[in-house]
Amino acid sequence: MKIVEFDIKKLKKITRENCFICQNKINTENIVFENKNFIAFLDYYPSTLGYTLLAPKKHYEDISEFSKKEFDEMQNILFRIVKSIKKNLKPDRIYLLNTGEIVTHFHIHIIPIYYETHTNFVDVLLRKRLLKLTKMERKKLSLKIKKSI
Ligand SMILES: [Zn+2]
C-alpha cells in the first residue's frame, strides 16, 4: 500500500448518464455488501483504510427520494457495515458523510478514522492524500469487512 498526493478537483462529475453505479461497473473485489436494493463497496479513492461507500441501486440524488421502507433498510445495512468495520479494522471512530457533488448517485461515505488521522481529518475529508491499494489488497480488505456484515 502506497500513499499518493491527490487533488479531488480532478475527478469528473458522475451524472445519471455516466453513472458507474447504475451501469454496474463496480469491481467485484471492492464489493463488501450487495442485495436487491443496495450495494456497498470500497471507495476507489480512499483517504483511510476501509473507506466504504453505501448506495441504493436506484439512481436517487438525495435522501428525500427514498421511501420510508428503503430508508429503513439502508439504515440497517449502514449499521451492520459500521459495526463490521469497527470490529475488523479497529478505527478509533467512524465518520459518515453524504454530499453528492461529484458522484450525484446518492451514497453515504463510511470513513474509518484512525489514531494518526485525527490530527489531519480535514485532509482526510478533502482527500489530499490517498491510499493506493493493489487489487489483492482491496480483495483482502473487502473480505475482512464482508465477513461480519
Ligand atoms: Zn446512478
Report all structural domains of the chain as residue ranges with CATH numbers, in order of start: 2-146 (3.30.428.10)
* pLDDT of the residue at 27: 93
Alpha carbon of 71 to ligand 1 centroid (Å): 17
**Rounded to the nearest whole angstrom, what is the distance from the C-alpha of residue 26 to the centroid of ligand 1?**
12
> Residue 74 carries which side chain, given as an amino acid letter?
M
Report pLDDT for 76: 98
Q: What is the pTM of this model?
A: 0.93
Backbone torsion region of residue 137, taken as left when φ is above 0, otherwise alpha when ψ lies between -120 and 50, otherwise beta: alpha
How would you write the pLDDT of the chain (149 residues) with one tens digit per residue? 888 877 777 888 889 999 999 999 999 999 999 999 999 999 998 999 999 999 999 999 999 999 999 999 999 999 999 999 999 999 999 999 998 888 999 999 999 999 877 778 888 888 888 899 999 999 999 999 999 99
Q: How far apart are CA 34 and CA 65, in angstroms?
A: 20
Torsion of CA 141, 27, 133, 51, to 10 degrees: -60
Task: Output the CA 41–ligand 1 centroid distance in Å.
Answer: 14
pLDDT at 53: 98
